[in-house]
């Protein structure tokens, strides 16, 4: 099995390359001329995209073929009252095209993870409405990069709202009501507090959504399911996807703060992938979620060299 590792949104090596610069609501409101304020948002967006391209060059130089874009490339997009009539695409269209061309030319896998306020199972209409706006924004970015949006956005199921089973049913009821092109873009991840891998699988199987298995969340929150029963089902949810199976890996910060992400990935935490490789799939993309970002990836690659059964192919790829 070929495994490509990826990292999230920013590099600890490439300096002054934030892809998540923003403007506070207060700052925006202080600028008396709305047009001027909007121009400032556009300059920030352009800077975020420019830095994203710099990171892609960095990734190319280090054989990293998998990357998650920042979800804050365009600032204040969640604030409908400020940005409702703002055509945020036109000013950055060229830059988006340039990014997409590079991604395609270098055969990179890219995707998004809209933040955890994107909630498709909320009973509040306004929350669902905002979530759709945020998803549409991600869709617009991908479209204008010339990248097929199918299965590019990972989100969580949402809140439990006291009754987890009802919350699952509400997800199943509301998901088909959002625009179809946004449905196709979504993949679903198990979380560390409420919805276990089994919960997410039941949703994914009923709505035909690929499941992103997060190994660390599974350790935090599970129903005692073993990998041998989960994996065949997880793999099956990807059978109609144009993209390889995706999983997440991270290490616990400490025994006490177990849920939080550590700086880097402990070598022992990729052991489950040895099992997965043996039994279930031939291609896998694993997103590293660690504070040290690309440095965590580099260190993991250094450490796995000595693990039995793992062969290093390049700086971002192994064969198990």
**Residues near DNA (CB under 7 A):** 9-10, 18-27, 44, 78-79, 115, 117, 119, 122, 124, 126-127, 130, 158-162, 194, 259-261, 291
Nearest distance, CB of residue 198 and DNA, angstroms: 18
Our CB check for DNA shows the closer of 114 and 210 to be: 114
CA gap 66, 63 in Å, rounded: 9
For tokens 């934030």, name the residue.
Answer: 18
Nearest distance, CB of residue 90 and DNA, angstroms: 23
Q: What is the CA radius of gyration of the chain?
A: 20
Our CB check for DNA shows the closer of 121 and 281 to be: 121
Our CB check for DNA shows the closer of 227 and 297 to be: 297
Yes or no: say if 245 and 287 are a contact pair by the CB < 8 Å rule.
no
For tokens 């009501």, name the residue.
Answer: 177
Nearest distance, CB of residue 165 and DNA, angstroms: 13
Q: CA angle 158-161-163, nearest 5°?
A: 110
Our CB check for DNA shows the closer of 43 and 104 to be: 43
What sign has the CA pseudo-torsion 130, 136, 142, 147?
positive
Q: Which residues, including other chains, have CB under 8 Å from residue 67's CB and lie 6 or more apart?
A: 6, 7, 55, 56, 59, 108, 109, 110
Total number of residues shown for the chain: 320
Nearest distance, CB of residue 128 and DNA, angstroms: 9
Nearest distance, CB of residue 124 and DNA, angstroms: 5
Our CB check for DNA shows the closer of 124 and 278 to be: 124
């Amino acid at each position: 099995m070929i495994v490509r590792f990826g990292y999230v949104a920013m590099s600890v090596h490439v300096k002054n390359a934030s892809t998540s610069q923003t403007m506070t609501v207060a700052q925006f409101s202080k600028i008396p001329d709305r047009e001027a304020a909007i121009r400032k948002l556009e300059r920030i967006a352009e800077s975020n995209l420019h830095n994203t391209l710099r990171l892609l060059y960095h990734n190319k130089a280090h054989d990293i073929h998998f990357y998650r874009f920042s979800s804050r490339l365009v600032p204040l997009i969640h604030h409908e009252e400020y940005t409702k009539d703002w055509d945020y695409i036109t000013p950055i269209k060229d830059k988006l095209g340039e990014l997409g061309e590079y991604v395609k030319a270098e055969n990179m896998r890219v995707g998004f993870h809209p933040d955890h306020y994107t909630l498709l199972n909320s009973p509040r209409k306004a929350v669902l409405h905002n979530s759709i706006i945020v998803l549409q924004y991600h869709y617009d970015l991908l479209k204008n990069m010339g990248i097929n949006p199918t299965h590019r956005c990972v989100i969580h199921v949402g809140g439990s709202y006291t009754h987890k089973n009802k919350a699952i049913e509400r997800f199943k009821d509301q998901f088909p009501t959002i625009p179809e092109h946004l449905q196709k873009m979504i993949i679903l991840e198990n979380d560390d507090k409420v919805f276990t891998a089994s919960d997410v699988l039941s949703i994914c199987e009923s709505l035909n959504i690929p499941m992103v298995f997060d190994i660390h969340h599974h350790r935090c929150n599970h129903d005692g399911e073993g990998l041998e029963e989960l994996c065949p089902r997880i793999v099956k949810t990807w059978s109609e996807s144009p993209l390889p199976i995706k999983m997440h890996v991270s290490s616990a910060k400490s025994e006490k703060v177990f849920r939080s992400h550590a700086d880097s990935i402990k070598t022992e935490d990729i052991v489950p992938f040895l099992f997965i490789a043996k039994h279930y799939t031939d291609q896998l993309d694993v997103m590293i979620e660690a504070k040290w970002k690309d440095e965590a990836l580099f260190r993991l690659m250094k450490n796995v060299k000595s693990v039995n059964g793992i062969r290093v192919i390049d700086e971002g790829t192994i064969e198990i």
